[in-house]
Amino acid sequence: MNKQMWRTIQALVAGVCVAAVSTWAFAESGAKSHKVSSKLESKGESAQEADIRKSLEQVIDTPGAIESVRKISYGNFYEAVLSNGDIVYVDPTGSFLISGSLIDMKAKKNVTAARINELQQIDFSDLPLANAIKQVRGNGKRVLVTFEDPNCGFCKKLAREMVSLKDTTIYTFMIPILAPDSADKSKAIWCAQDRAKAWNEWMIDGRLPANGACENPIAKNADLAHKLRVSGTPTMFLIDGNRLGGYMALAELDKAINDASSAPAKK
């Protein structure tokens, strides 16, 4: 299979958006980079799972694109986790590949979303927080990490609403993924005397500080985003290691932070 066809499969699985454009780079380089810190573990596959893998490799011939294959309890399917973080399902004969969300209608549960969340959990203590803009609201006892691009419209909406977020320490990793000038804006904000103030003035008021030269972590942040499969903004992480993908209304976000704060950290 050529790369163009593989991109088409990825677009079907991931959806046509910034993430769909970026995932090919993630999948292509996945075999060359060290693995993401996640819940995914390398385990021996059964003979049937190995056969399913061989069937998939006849369709997806990119080295390292298939991270794991396992039998699941739903519909006699086999689950294949791809190196870009997507999940596809294969029938027992290895003849049919199904992309999209698997829904348990009786339990009213999105099985695919729950599994992806499980795989994407991180060890919060591994995050290099010194490379993020730090803001402390109130007593700062709760913690939220965000990955944002300064050109992200939903990030700007989130920034306006998070002004009212109480008792939370917010760490923002700036990642330049949306526009050619995203890196320049990120560096200008990082090099400002007061980074948090510069970030909010840009995201809320549209005032960008003058370009300044300084040592900055923007490239490192981009690499971190790659490792964590962050391909869209905003992407947020809670103290328990769970990921929140995309914009959330303040009340919903506040509840998620509270729930995570009351649970033990997951590794």
pLDDT score for 245: 81
* CATH topology classification for 124-261: Glutaredoxin (3.40.30)
Token pair belonging to 8? 């088409």
Taking every pair of Cα atoms in the chain, the longest distance, rounded to a whole number of angstroms, is 61
* Side chain identity at residue 27, one-letter code: A
pLDDT score for 62: 86
DSSP letters of the chain? --HHHHHHHHHHHH-SSHHHHHHHHHHHHHTTSPPPSSS----PPPHHHHHHHHHHHHH--STT-EEEEEE-SSTT-EEEEETTS-EEEE-TTS--EEES--EETTTTEEHHHHHHHHHH---GGGS-GGGSEEEEETT--EEEEEEE-TT-HHHHHHHHHHTT--SEEEEEEE---SSTTHHHHHHHHHTSSSHHHHHHIIIII--PPPP------HHHHHHHHHHTT--SSSEEEETTS-EEES---HHHHHHHHHHHHTSPPP-
Let me know: does 137 contact 169? Beta carbons within 8 Å: yes
What length is written for the chain?
267
pLDDT score for 121: 87
pLDDT score for 129: 97
pLDDT score for 83: 84
Give dist(CA 134, CA 68) in Å, integer: 37
pLDDT score for 41: 40
pLDDT score for 162: 95
Separation in Å, CA 105 to CA 41, 53, 117, 187: 28, 28, 19, 47
* Side chain identity at residue 242, one-letter code: N
Please name every residue paired with 9 in a beta bridge, in sequence order, or none if there are none: none
Q: Could you read off the pLDDT tens digit of each residue along the chain, which spans 267 residues?
A: 445 444 444 444 332 224 333 332 333 333 333 333 334 344 578 999 999 999 999 888 888 899 999 999 998 899 999 988 889 999 999 999 999 899 999 998 899 888 888 888 888 999 999 999 999 999 999 999 999 999 999 999 999 999 999 999 999 999 999 999 999 999 999 999 999 999 999 999 999 998 878 999 999 999 999 999 888 899 999 999 999 888 999 999 999 999 998 875 444
pTM of the model: 0.72
Q: What is the residue extent of each domain of the chain?
A: 3-120, 124-261
Give dist(CA 240, CA 123) in Å, integer: 8
